Each structure stands twice: as structure tokens, then as C-alpha cells.
Amino acid sequence: MTQAIEAPADSTQLVPADHGHAHAATNTGVSNAKLGIWVFLASEALFFGAFIATYFLYRGRDEEVGNPGPRPREVYDIAFTSVTSFVLLMSSLTMVLALAAIQRGDHRRLRIWLLATAFFGMVFIGGQVFEFTEFYREGLTLHTNLFGTTFFTLTGLHGAHVTMGIIWLLVLWGRSMQGRLHTEHAEAIEISGLYWHFVDIVWIVIFTAIYLVPQN
Amino acid sequence: MTTVEEAVSHEPVERARIVGRPISSTGFWSWFTTVDHKKIAIMYGTTAIFFFLVGGVEALLIRIQLASPNNSFLDANQYNQMFTMHGTTMVFLMGMPIAAAFGNYFLPLMVGARDVAFPRLNMLGYWIFLFGGIFLYSSFLLGGAPNGGWVNYAPINSTPMADGFLPGRGPDFWAVGIIMLGIGSVATAVNFIVTALNMRAPGMTLMRMPVFVWMMLVVAFLTLFAMPPVTAALIQVYIDRNFDGNFFNAAMGGEPILYQHLFWIFGHPEVYILILPGMGIVSEILPVFSRKPLFGYAVVVFSGIAIGFLGWGVWAHHMFTSGIGPVAVSAFGLSTMLIAVPTGVKIFNWLGTVWGGSVRLRTPMLFALGFIAQFTIGGLSGVMHAIVPADTQQHDTYFIVAHFHYVLFGGLVFALFGGFYYWWPKIFGRMMNEKLGKLQFWLLVIGFNLTFFPMHFLGLEGQPRRTYTYDEGLQWEGLNQLATIGSFVIALSFLVFLVNAFMSRRSAPAPTDPWDARTVEWMTSSPPPEYNFATVPVIEHRDEFWHRKYTEDDEGRLLRLPAGAAVDMSDPEGRDAHTLGIHMPSPSYWPFVFALALPILGYGFVFKNWYIVAAGVVVGFFGLVAWALEPQTAEDQGVH
């Protein structure tokens, strides 16, 4: 901020229109792109919040109103989901390592960690696809009962967000392979990382809400 | 400070890419690729005025139908489509986009920026708006428009079509269309927030920002947090309707009232999303035409922020008759009364601004004063709704229709017209005709009050909303006829506005500062060059421009400073950005391509055709990846 205010009045060297680059002078000192992603994630938080609230509203209601099964306890394989969840959480670690790598200018490791992060994400999605298929085989659909409606919607939308993140990471990896992602673009990795960590944190909440909080 | 890009002498290195980059910033096709916030604003404004007319025609059809008892001009289903699309159009395709038009044009100019923070995202917002509007209206040709009210309540709108209550695919079009428009609104909100927080000119502290910018900032935050809950609710409606979900299926223990909560958590902030830009515009107009600074700037700003916060705590006053229980009803009744406080504070600040000023009753000022008077009436009937027993009586009657039209028409629309007359010379470089402007104002005042004031009485006498006709002998005929006559006077006033706008092409060129204004958007040519300011102004005062023009003598009288104080900060020789070495974002195809994917996806979802959905995914993916790989400016393609 101070930097901007001290600019001489007659300067023709002006605040750039915007480049989203780390070096652009901004009033807050945070680059436009980074501020933008934070603001966007705040919006996303309410999106998931609405679905998580819906899930809690209807949790256990199937039992109360006598809807047909299956019930959560009959279909959950908590050990399996814990493993895929752990893999997803570990992908946040590799994401951080990717950012650290580009910040030191180590592009080879950047690419390794980006691929690792995307791979862990895919493992998680693979687990989700497997889980959905299993639940479907056991007779759970969007229509079966409230658990089916809320479970598939909430976890499905989260899965869609993870998928978007995977695509994002792969695009960044592709750019790096082409040699078009330079050390000064570290912020591009940081921003995709913010999104990735956000999706991970949301999963911690969802996992706790759906699988861990005891219900019948 | 950064970037003096050396005049770029080398050719941009052409990388392997499927389509080259659009270069031209003039000509017909440039409108499809432009990232210039001013051009995008004009597109927003033009499209929104078009939808304004369409929504107005729908209103006229409603009024013709209600002009006499047991009228058969429209049948029930047509009438349902009319009031649903009228409300939807006026909220999502007129109110929000016109605010986005003003915000786009003036938010960067008023903070002394060269463009918004994310020019391509800005472009995306516009194209999503246009395609979303076309998508919603295409439903008329594809089995009938949405017909379940602009609130799209469940279960009437969420029951599967086969055993549904409403004919046609209207609710699907509504759900998918509003989700689509919401994506565009959130993109624009992110853009406005970052622009206002990050791109202010040197010295433009937050408490020096013009009130309009402040209000747009509050609106952007409201949009950011209001759209996700309604998106969630509409996804739930879509799943219930198309996959036999149970979200709102009472037979399986689902609760329809969940929809009402999620909708109004969006819906009430939405009211402030619509009105706060109007309050911002009025707060700009009043000081200029009173030749006084805004009375209590900080209080006006903080009241706007307070409205923004309190707006989240009043949603259930739309649900007093839905059986949410006495505790909830009392709490929401109280919070609703509370929100009248910052609103009332603002009204007194506006009056304080005009009080004792040397008032010039030009057209923008008339509209601003009309705003204050009529918005106050709407505000007072709003406070009546905080009183729960009264609201229970008035719920879903024409009293409610009268109330929100006083706020949104008497308030917002008057402010928007004031904004058009005030900023028209800046945007188009031509003055609007004063006589026609005043004629339009008085026609609108008469027509508006003739239409909506009788509705208070109709509502108290029990005429229900959303009902396509009424019986003879209920004593409603006279007032309904009056309202219908009034609606045609409103239509006439719109015609006068359109004539005025059209004729302004031939009127005298506007000077840089036709109104002796106070804020920095008047410090550049009319219309401003692409880069807004050749030299970004350094801000030392609130009302910076005024302080550059005037000072006070020892006795506190205004003195005009000698000419020569920097007034026009565009380039006198009219050179372009490139020549001046100013680094502007370059046009792009990709936001257009990405936006195009959304209606394709939309049709796929509405008709449950997964091939069309797949096609939409492919187009969207292509647009997004190409966008991601394209640097923001053409120069960057060579530099890195």
C-alpha cells in the first residue's frame, strides 16, 4: 500500500492494469490472483456448507420415518474410505512440496510432485467410484431414501471438485513440460494449491460428518 | 512500481496453438473478444435494458389480464409464466446486470484503475449473463417457460414432471438457468472485490473511495455468499425432479421448508444486492447537484456495510406464515425492525446532503429525489412486515407486491435512471435532452404511483398475488383498472427514455465535466480512452476532483482554482495505449467459448440428454484449458 501511495504524481509508469503476477503492486500487498482465489473459496465454503447442513438435517431420519434401507452402517466400509481419505490428505503434502520445488527453481521435482498430487487425487476418485458402485449394488440410489439422496449429492459434488483440481494440476504439469512454467510463475502453483487444500479440508469435514459421527 | 514495458518492437513469438489471438479492438467482431471494462459495461447495459423491456411487456400483459374481473386475455398457465418470467427477468436479467454495467464502467474509473482485476473473467461474466438470459427465454419455445414463481418453491417445482403439479419443463429451465447466471454473478463479484481492494490509485484509501464503489463492494460480498446457498437449493430441486430424489419429498421425510430457508438465505441478501447499487448511485448524484459533500460519508458507508451484515439475519421474515414457530418468528421480526435503522440513517444523510445546498434540479437530481421519496414509502411498508401479525395478514397479497415495487421500482429503477442521465455524457460523450428527461421523470412518477399505490389497498382488501383472475363484486375492479392505466403511463415514460437515448447521438458533444462533479471518473475525456487515465491520478481527498477545482477563502467561501489544475487526465493528443507505453490486457476468445459451454450443458441437463452434456463438457474444457494457457496480454506471449 505504501508503495503505491509514494508514487510520484507525474509518473507515467503506472500501476499495471493487472497481470496477476506476483510483482504487480496492489493496495493490499496480496496479488490479485491470490486475493481472487481466497474470495472464491469463501464462496465455495457456503456452497458445501449448504449441502453439509442438508445432510445433517436428514441424518438418521430414514430410521425415524421408516424409509427402506440400506442404512449407512450397512453399506459403509470405514476402513476402505479411511485409506482413500488418507491418500487425499497426503496429496496436500505433495502439493506443498510442489510449491516448495518451484520456489527454489527445481522444475524437475515440481513436475514429480504435481504428478504425485494428481495421482493421489485420482486414487481418491477411484475409491469414490468404487464406493458408489458398491453402494449402488447394495440397492442405494438417489431415490432409495434420504441417506441416498444426501450422500450421493454431497460426496458427488466434492468428487467433482477434486476432479476439477486434478485437471488443473495436469494442465500446470503440461505447461511445465512445455517449459512455459517458470520460477516466477510460482504463484500459479500456490493458487492451485490453495484450491487443492480447500477441497481437502472440505473432505475432512465431510468425512467426519458422514462416516465418523455415529449414527444408526 | 512496475512495468514500463518497453515499446514492444519484437513480434510476439507465436507458439503452437490452435487459434491465434484476437488483435483488433475495433469493429463488430471486437465486441465478442473485448476485455475492456467499459465496452463490457455497455454490453451489460444494452442487454439488460433489452431484458428490461421484455420484462416490462410481461408486466403489461399481467396488467391487461387483471384490468377486469374474470378476464380471459391470458389463461392461468400463460399468466403463471408471465409473472414468473417478469420477476425472474427483473431480478436476474435487469437489476443485477444493470448494476454490473454501472459497476463495470465506474468502479475501475472511480478508483483510478485502468481496468478490472480480471478482464477475461469480467468478459466471462457478461457472456454467461447473455447466454443465461437466452437460455431462460428459449424455454418459451421448448415446452413452456418457468411457471412456478420467481422463488421456484418446492415441492410444487421439485416434483418430477411425470406426476408434477406444473406443466412443462419450466422449473428445470429455471433451476438450471439461475445456477448458470449465478456462476456469472460470482465471477463478477470476485472481480469487483479484488478491483476495489487491490487496484485503487495511489492515495485512494478505503475511506476516500466514492460511496458507489463502497456499495458495489458490499454488493459483491453479498453476491459471493448469497449465490452458493441458492445454487445448492436448485441442485436439490433438479435432483428431486429428475432423479426422484427426496430432498423435498415429504412422503419420504423430506422437508419442503428446507428449500424456503436455502432460497431466502439467498433471497433476502438479494434484495440488498439489488438496492445497494441504487443507494450508491444516489449518493453520487445528490452531492453533485447540491454542491455539497455527502453528509456523513462515513456513516453512509458504515450503514451500507451494516445493511450488508444484517441482511443475513432477516431471511425468515419471508416465511412468517410457514409455521417456523413463535421463537423464530419473534427473532426474525426483531432483526427485520433492526435493519430499518441503518436504512433510515441513510435517508437522513441524503436529506442532510440536500439541505442547505445550492440545489440544481437537473434530470439526474430529480430521479435521485424521487428515489428518496418512494424508497421511503417502500421502506415504511417494509417495517410493517416486521410486525408479525400484520405480515401474516398481508402475506401473498398485493400489499407485498406494492411494497417491493416501491423499494425496487420506486427505489432501484429511479436510481438507475438517475445514473443513466448522470453518467450518459461520460459513457457516450453526448448529453441527454433535459426536457425529455424531465418529461420522462414526471411520467414515471405519475405512472409508477398510479400503478403501485392502489395495490396497497387491493392487498389489504385481500387480493392474492399470483392468481390469474378475480371475481366480480369484490370491489377490486376500480383500483385494478387504475393500476393498469398506470402501467401504460410507465410504458410511455420508457419510450420517452428510449427516444432520448436514441436522439442523444446527435446532441452536443459532452465536455469532460458537464455537471461540475466531484469524483475522478470526470477527470478523463468523455468517453474515456481505453486506458482511462494517461496518468493515474494521485488521490489526496475524498471528492478528489472537487478539491482540484475549488478551494475556500478565509471566510469559508468556495473559490474556483485557476484553470490549469489537472482536469482532463486522458491524453490530449488521443494517443493509444500502445504508443503511451501503457500495458493493457489483450482481447481473447476463450471466455466466450467457455461461456458457450454453459447453455449447452444447460440444455443437456434440462432434457437429460447426456450426449449434449458431454458436448458441453468438451466445449467448456477446451475453452478453459485454452484460457489457462493464454497469457493475459499479447506482449507476455513474447516476453516469457
Instruction: Please state the separation of Cα B640 from the chain's center in Å.
Output: 39
Q: How confident is the model at residue B552 (pLDDT cuts 50, 70, 90)?
A: confident
Gap between the Cα atoms of B454 and B442, Å rounded: 18
Instruction: State the smallest CA–CA distance between residue A164 and chain B in angstroms.
Output: 10
- Burial of A69 per CB tally in 10 Å (0-12, 13-18, 19+): middle
| Residue numbers in A near B190 (CB within 8 A) | 36, 39-40, 43
| Residue numbers in A near B617 (CB within 8 A) | none
pLDDT single digits (tens) B572-592? 777 778 788 788 888 888 999
Tell me: pLDDT of B387 over 50. yes
**B36-48 mean pLDDT:** 96
pLDDT single digits (tens) A7-64? 333 333 344 444 433 345 889 999 999 999 999 999 999 999 999 999 999 998 999 9
B165 versus B470: which is more confidently predicted?
B470
| Residue numbers in B near A5 (CB within 8 A) | 202-203
Report the pLDDT value the prediction gives residue B476, as an integer from 0 to 100: 94
Q: How confident is the model at residue B565 (pLDDT cuts 50, 70, 90)?
A: low
| Residue numbers in B near A142 (CB within 8 A) | 239, 243-245
The enclosing H or E element of B558 equals strand B558-560
Question: Of B126-135, B142-151, B165-174, B549-558, which one has max mean pLDDT?
Answer: B126-135
Residue of A nearest to B571 (CA): A12
- Residue in B602, B621, B624 with CA at minimum distance from that of residue B613: B602
β-strand pairing of B550-552 with B558-560: antiparallel
Question: Do the chains contact at A65 and B117, CB–CB below 8 Å?
Answer: no
Maximum Cα–Cα distance for chain A, whole Å? 76
Task: Yes or no: say if A92 and A157 are a contact pair by the CB < 8 Å rule.
Answer: no
- Residue in B586, B512, B583 with CA at minimum distance from that of residue B548: B512
CA distances from residue B291 to A47, B284, B349 in whole angstroms, order as listed: 45, 11, 15
Instruction: State the smallest CA–CA distance between residue A81 and chain B in angstroms.
Output: 24
Which residues neighbour B448 within 8 Å (Cβ) at sequence distance 6 or greater? B374, B409, B410, B486, B490
Question: Do the chains contact at B199 and A27, CB–CB below 8 Å?
Answer: yes
CA distances from residue B253 to A145, A210, B248, B455, B504 in whole angstroms, order as listed: 9, 19, 8, 39, 60
Report the pLDDT value the prediction gives residue B563, as an integer from 0 to 100: 63
Long-range contacts of B445-450 (CB under 8 A, 24+ apart): B445/B370, B446/B486, B446/B489, B447/B486, B447/B487, B447/B488, B447/B489, B447/B490, B447/B491, B447/B492, B447/B493, B448/B374, B448/B409, B448/B410, B448/B486, B448/B490, B449/B374, B449/B486, B450/B482, B450/B483, B450/B485, B450/B486, B450/B489
Q: Hey, which residues does B560 pair with through a beta bridge?
A: B550
The DSSP string of B392-423 is HHHTTBHHHHHHHHHHIIIIIIHHHHHHHHHH
Question: Do the chains contact at B1 and A157, CB–CB below 8 Å?
Answer: no
Helix (H, G, I), strand (E, B) or coil at B146: coil
Report the pLDDT value the prediction gives residue B9, as an integer from 0 to 100: 37
Question: Do the chains contact at A51 and B232, CB–CB below 8 Å?
Answer: yes
Instruction: State the smallest CA–CA distance between residue A54 and chain B in angstroms.
Output: 8
Residue of B nearest to A64 (CA): B253
Gap between the Cα atoms of B604 and B616, Å rounded: 8
B516: left (phi over 0), alpha (psi -120 to 50) or beta: left
**B283-302 mean pLDDT:** 96
Question: Do the chains contact at B197 and A16, CB–CB below 8 Å?
Answer: no
Gap between the Cα atoms of B129 and B519, Å rounded: 29
The enclosing H or E element of B242 equals helix B211-243
Question: Do the chains contact at A57 and B258, CB–CB below 8 Å?
Answer: yes
Gap between the Cα atoms of A47 and A148, Å rounded: 19
Which among B2, B246, B534 has the least Cβ separation from residue A25? B2
Gap between the Cα atoms of B528 and B429, Å rounded: 9
Tell me: pLDDT of B602 over 80. yes
The enclosing H or E element of B560 equals strand B558-560
**B105-133 mean pLDDT:** 95
Tell me: pLDDT of B491 over 80. yes
Q: Which residue has the cell 418512494?
A: B374
Determine which of A119-133, B13-27, B115-129, B405-419 has the lowest per-residue pLDDT on average: B13-27
Report the pLDDT value the prediction gives residue B240, as an integer from 0 to 100: 95
Q: Which residue has the cell 427402506?
A: A68
- Residue in B315, B190, B186 with CA at minimum distance from that of residue A47: B186
CA distances from residue B5 to B15, B576, B578, B623 in whole angstroms, order as listed: 21, 15, 10, 29
| Residue numbers in A near B240 (CB within 8 A) | 149
Task: Yes or no: say if B348 and B285 are a contact pair by the CB < 8 Å rule.
Answer: no
Residue of B nearest to A22 (CA): B2
B297 versus A20: which is more confidently predicted?
B297
pLDDT single digits (tens) B61-73? 999 999 999 999 9
Gap between the Cα atoms of B443 and B82, Å rounded: 25
- CA B426-B413-B50 angle, 5° bins: 75
Q: What are phi and psi of B463, to 5 degrees?
A: -70, 120
B558 versus A137: which is more confidently predicted?
A137
Residue of B nearest to A12 (CA): B535
Report the pLDDT value the prediction gives residue B164, as an integer from 0 to 100: 72
Q: What are phi and psi of B607, to 5 degrees?
A: -95, 5
A6, A12, A27, A191: best mutation site toward chain B, by most B Cβ within 10 Å? A27
CA distances from residue B91 to B14, B87, B97 in whole angstroms, order as listed: 44, 6, 9
A21, A28, A38, A39: best mutation site toward chain B, by most B Cβ within 10 Å? A39
Question: Do the chains contact at B625 and A28, CB–CB below 8 Å?
Answer: no
Q: How confident is the model at residue B569 (pLDDT cuts 50, 70, 90)?
A: confident
Task: Yes or no: say if B117 and B194 are a contact pair by the CB < 8 Å rule.
Answer: yes
Task: Yes or no: say if A11 and B1 are a contact pair by the CB < 8 Å rule.
Answer: yes
Residue of B nearest to A140 (CA): B245
Which among A3, A50, A143 has the least Cβ separation from residue B229? A50
pLDDT single digits (tens) B464-490? 999 999 999 999 999 999 999 999 999
The conformation of residue B509, written as its DSSP 8-state character, comes to B
Residue of B nearest to A180 (CA): B640
Instruction: State the smallest CA–CA distance between residue A180 and chain B in angstroms.
Output: 8
Which among B115, B225, B628 has the least Cβ separation from residue A171? B628
Instruction: State the smallest CA–CA distance between residue B115 and chain A in angstroms.
Output: 6
- Could you count the other beta carbons within 10 Å of the beta carbon of residue A202? 23
| Residue numbers in A near B324 (CB within 8 A) | none
Report the pLDDT value the prediction gives residue B638, as an integer from 0 to 100: 46
Report the pLDDT value the prediction gives residue B554, as an integer from 0 to 100: 80
Instruction: State the smallest CA–CA distance between residue B234 and chain A in angstroms.
Output: 11
Helix axes A78-104, A107-137, angle to 10 degrees: 160
Type of residue at A124? F
Report the pLDDT value the prediction gives residue A9, as an integer from 0 to 100: 38
| Residue numbers in A near B189 (CB within 8 A) | 39, 43
- Residue in B182, B151, B345 with CA at minimum distance from that of residue B273: B182
Which residues neighbour B564 within 8 Å (Cβ) at sequence distance 6 or greater? none
Residue of B nearest to A181 (CA): B640
Type of residue at A173? W
Q: How confident is the model at residue A2 (pLDDT cuts 50, 70, 90)?
A: very low
Instruction: State the smallest CA–CA distance between residue B591 and chain A in angstroms.
Output: 17
| Residue numbers in B near A206 (CB within 8 A) | none
| Residue numbers in A near B255 (CB within 8 A) | 57
B199, B234, B255, B622: best mutation site toward chain A, by most A Cβ within 10 Å? B199
Beta-carbon pairs below 8 A across chains A and B: 187
Type of residue at B322? S
pLDDT single digits (tens) A99-109? 999 999 999 99
Tell me: pLDDT of B525 over 50. yes
Q: What are phi and psi of B146, to 5 degrees?
A: -50, 140
Gap between the Cα atoms of B203 and B447, Å rounded: 45
- Could you count the other beta carbons within 10 Å of the beta carbon of residue B597? 20
**B381-404 mean pLDDT:** 94
Report the pLDDT value the prediction gives residue B4, as an integer from 0 to 100: 38
Tell me: pLDDT of A150 over 60. yes
Instruction: State the smallest CA–CA distance between residue B625 and chain A in angstroms.
Output: 7
Determine which of A13-22, A76-85, B400-409 has the lowest per-residue pLDDT on average: A13-22
Report the pLDDT value the prediction gives residue B302, as an integer from 0 to 100: 96
Instruction: State the average pLDDT for chain A.
Output: 88
Q: What is the ipTM of this complex?
A: 0.91
* Grid cell at residue B460: 389489504
Q: How confident is the model at residue B16 (pLDDT cuts 50, 70, 90)?
A: very low
pLDDT single digits (tens) B330-369? 999 999 999 999 999 999 999 999 999 999 999 999 999 9
Instruction: State the average pLDDT for chain B.
Output: 91
* Grid cell at residue B414: 429511479
Q: Where are the alpha helices (DSSP H) in chain A?
A: 2-5, 32-58, 61-65, 72-75, 78-104, 107-137, 146-177, 186-207
Gap between the Cα atoms of B74 and B468, Å rounded: 8
Q: How confident is the model at residue B8 (pLDDT cuts 50, 70, 90)?
A: very low
Q: How confident is the model at residue A214 (pLDDT cuts 50, 70, 90)?
A: confident
Which residues neighbour B175 within 8 Å (Cβ) at sequence distance 6 or greater? B152, B157, B234, B235, B237, B238, B241
A18, A19, A48, A169: best mutation site toward chain B, by most B Cβ within 10 Å? A18
- Could you count the other beta carbons within 10 Å of the beta carbon of residue B93? 27
